């Protein structure tokens, strides 16, 4: 299937013969190449430093079943991932989580996570008052948000400072921070509320009370029907491997084990400098992590390179453990649990894989997926794989009452895992896009600047490839 045959919209009939190179074959780079092909670009090359495509989208096996080592779901609302899946013929592979109930391990036991929150911010007073997750004093302090004098979010600020000011420290640490950390591995004391938790920023702008603002945002979002999250049968890598095949069938050249280390101007436009050889191109789209982009841009755009180098990444690891069913007493109903940083455990979260994804539920074994590592807290990751498995098992045995060791395990380390958006990140990202675009047919897309989720990466890829295609079209017109 070619991009045009996919039937997706695009400037069909337009041919842009200029050569485009995309740096990085994660979901951003692959979907950008797809968008460029749909826009009529006929000479697209994707260069990828590793020997495989997909970046953080990775599916392996555990206990004889497929197992997501990176993302396991995507935000379905907004439709951008769904429409890509449709173009790739993957509609039949979409799967919904079996449950949305989650738990939180605090004050020595698992406690149900209240439903109907906005990224952990309570939206219903009744549910908040009944939330065993917080101590009675913590609940009353959170309720004070309804009457505390005004503090709308004018600009950006640290997530923790907003949450603690409105809801108090306990609600911030036990309810919101673990959820946000579960998505971005973020440290709330440093994370930009605008870039890391946009819905909370929207709630803060909407009302003096964060609870009432969150209620209004939830009400508005509910108007768009359909599941919040979806996954893919066979694992999330089904998306990237299908995309890779479709791109190659459409004539896109994917160069694996090809590391970009610099970019210069050339007669044609750009010379992408590789470790072993260079490629001349009319347009370049960077879709790699910030540090790699900083290195590539160090001579051409030193100020942008310095800005990009300030974006830190949290190192994280996903540890999959497979237990014989006899070692696991019945798990609480739900998709898993989060652990606030204050609990001092090795793990930050755990997914009950077979309950979240019923396709993976088996009578004879139980698959658990734990996460280790948060921004500024990567000491546990200095352990060897065997030590890490032991520490994670010890946490899980204590929390879930496991009665025996796992008989299969998979440790996946993501040393440059999740970008940390500090206060002011949106303005940094805006500056980088603007400055790179001012240099010509050049841009940068993906998680480093525009949001960590798969949906955000694909949206970013779409926007940046539109810019690149428009520049190529203008260049073709001007001869
Ligand atoms: C453990 C984990 C769980 C996650 N869970 C979810 C989830 O459930 N849902 C969700 O939506 N998101 C999740 N995410 C986030 C999401 O997976 C990532 O943000 C997203 O996949 C990033 O895509 P990307 O293409 O921008 O970057 P990457 O996936 O990092 O891809 C960048 C690519 O560029 C390549 N590259 C780097 N340097 C160079 C160079 N110099 N030259 C050439 N190539 C280069 C890299 O090898 C890589 O393949 C998770 C992330 C992690 C780590």
Can you give the CATH number for the domain in which 401 is found? 3.90.660.20
Q: How confident is the model at residue 11 (pLDDT cuts 50, 70, 90)?
A: low
Same domain, 307 and 437: yes
CATH number, domain with residue 241: 3.50.50.60
What's residue 7's pLDDT?
40
**Band of pLDDT at residue 232, cut at 50, 70 and 90:** very high
Question: Does a structural domain hold residue 330?
Answer: yes
Residue 4: the pLDDT is 47
Q: Which domain-ending residue is among 416, 435, 454?
A: 416
How many Å lie between the centroid of ligand 1 and the Cα of residue 434? 23
- Judged against a pLDDT cut of 90, whether residue 100 lies above it is answered with no
Which residue in the block uniquely carries the two structure tokens 């050339």?
266
Q: Indicate if 183 and 114 belong to the same structural domain.
A: yes
The rounded mean pLDDT for the chain is: 93
Indicate the residue among 369, 393, 416 that finishes a domain: 416
Res. 224 pLDDT band, cuts 50 70 90: low
pLDDT per position as a tens digit, 302-357: 999 999 999 999 999 999 999 999 999 999 999 999 999 889 999 999 999 999 99
Q: To which residue do tokens 């940068």 refer? A: 444
Q: Which helix (H) or strand (E) holds 411?
A: strand 408-419
Site to substitute for ligand 1 among 30, 47, 55, most atoms within 8 A of C-beta: 55
Residue 4, in any domain of the structure: no
Q: Are residues 307 and 429 in the same domain?
A: yes
Outline where 297-424 has alpha helix (H).
Answer: 302-309, 353-356, 385-400
- H or E segment at 221? helix 210-222
Residue 1 maps to a domain: no
DSSP code at position 23 = E
Residues 287 and 340 in one domain: no
| DSSP 8-state code for residue 175 | I
Pocket test for ligand 1, best of 34, 54, 70, 76 (most atoms within 8 A of CB): 70
| Structure tokens that stand for 43 in this block | 């000479």
CA distance readout (Å), 14 to 41, 53, 86, 249, 440: 8, 28, 23, 19, 21
Domain of 25 in residue numbering reads as: 16-56+233-311+423-477
Same domain for 429 and 356, yes or no, is: no
When divided into structural domains, the chain yields a total of: 3
Mean pLDDT of 113-119: 89
Same domain for 292 and 430? Answer: yes
| Residue closest to 340 by CA, chosen among 100, 104, 103 | 104
State the Cα–Cα distance between residues 156 and 160, nearest whole angstrom: 12
Choose the most confident range, by mean pLDDT, from 113-122, 181-190, 227-236, 452-461. 452-461
For residues 264-271, average pLDDT: 94
Query: Do 117 and 208 sit in the same domain of this protein?
Result: yes
For residues 461 and 372, membership in a common domain is answered with: no
Whether residues 21 and 63 fall in one domain: no
Residue tagged 């500024």 (tokens): 376
Question: What is the mean predicted confidence (pLDDT) over 406-417?
Answer: 96
User: Of 416, 440, 455, which one is at a domain's C-terminal end?
Assistant: 416
For residues 293 and 318, membership in a common domain is answered with: no
Are 281 and 472 spatial neighbours (Cβ–Cβ below 8 Å)?
no
- Indicate whether 303 and 439 sit together in one domain: yes
Longest dimension (CA), the chain: 72
Does the residue 412 lie in any domain?
Answer: yes
Q: What is the pLDDT of residue 378?
A: 86
* Contact criterion met (CB below 8 Å) for 229 and 237: no
Q: Answer for the pair 152, 209: CB distance below 8 angstroms, yes or no.
A: no
Give the strand pairing for 59-62 and 94-95.
unpaired
CB-defined site of ligand 1, < 6 Å: 23-29, 47-50, 55-57, 70-74, 259-260, 287-289, 292, 316, 318, 414, 417-418, 446-447, 452-454, 457
Answer whether residue 226 shows pLDDT above 80: no
Q: What is the pLDDT of residue 315?
A: 96
Answer whether residue 227 is part of any domain. Answer: no
pLDDT class for 13, splitting at 50, 70, 90? low
Mutate which of 288, 294, 296, 335 for ligand 1? The one with the most ligand atoms within 8 Å of its CB, which is 288
């Amino acid at each position: 299937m070619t991009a045009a045959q996919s039937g997706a919209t695009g400037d069909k009939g337009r041919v842009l013969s200029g050569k485009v190179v995309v740096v990085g074959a994660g979901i951003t780079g692959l979907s950008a190449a797809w968008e460029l092909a749909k826009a009529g670009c006929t000479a697209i090359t994707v260069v990828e430093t590793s020997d495989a495509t997909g970046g953080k989208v990775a599916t392996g096996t555990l206990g004889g079943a497929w197992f997501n080592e990176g993302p396991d779901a995507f935000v379905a609302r907004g439709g951008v991932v769904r429409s890509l899946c449709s173009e790739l013929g993957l509609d039949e592979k979409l799967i919904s989580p079996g449950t949305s109930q989650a738990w939180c391990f605090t004050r020595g036991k698992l406690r149900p996570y209240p439903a109907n929150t906005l990224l952990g911010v309570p939206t219903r007073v009744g549910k908040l008052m009944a939330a065993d997750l917080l101590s009675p004093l913590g609940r009353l302090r959170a309720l004070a948000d309804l009457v505390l004098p005004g503090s709308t979010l004018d600009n950006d600020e640290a997530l923790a400072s907003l949450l603690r000011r409105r809801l108090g420290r306990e609600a911030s640490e036990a309810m919101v921070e673990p959820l946000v950390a579960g998505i971005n591995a973020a440290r709330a004391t440093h994370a930009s509320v605008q870039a890391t938790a946009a819905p909370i920023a929207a709630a803060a702008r909407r009302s003096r009370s964060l609870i009432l603002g969150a209620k209004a945002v939830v009400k508005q979002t509910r108007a768009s029907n359909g599941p919040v999250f979806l996954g893919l049968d066979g694992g999330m890598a089904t998306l990237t491997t299908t995309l890779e095949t479709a791109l190659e069938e459409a004539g896109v050249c994917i160069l694996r084990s090809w590391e970009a280390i610099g970019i210069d101007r050339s007669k044609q436009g750009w010379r992408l400098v590789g470790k072993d050889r260079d490629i001349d191109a009319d347009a370049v789209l960077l879709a790699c992590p910030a540090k790699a982009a900083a290195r590539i841009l160090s001579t051409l755009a030193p100020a942008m390179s310095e800005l990009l180098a300030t974006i830190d990444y949290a190192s994280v690891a996903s540890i999959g453990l497979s237990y014989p069913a006899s070692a696991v007493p019945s798990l609480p109903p739900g998709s898993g649990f989060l652990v606030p940083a204050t609990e001092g455990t090795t793990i930050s979260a755990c997914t009950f894989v077979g309950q979240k994804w019923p396709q993976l539920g088996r009578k004879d074994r139980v698959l658990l997926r734990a996460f280790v590592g948060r921004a500024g807290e990567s000491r546990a990751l200095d352990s060897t794989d065997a030590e890490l498995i032991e520490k994670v098992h010890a946490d899980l045995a204590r929390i879930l009452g496991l009665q025996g060791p796992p008989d299969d395990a998979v440790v996946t380390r993501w040393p440059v895992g999740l970008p940390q958006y500090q206060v002011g990140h949106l303005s940094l990202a805006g500056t980088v896009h603007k400055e790179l675009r001012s240099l010509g047919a050049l841009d940068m897309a993906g998680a480093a600047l525009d949001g960590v989720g798969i949906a955000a990466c694909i949206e970013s890829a779409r926007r940046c490839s539109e810019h690149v295609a428009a520049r190529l079209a203008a260049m073709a017109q001007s001869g």
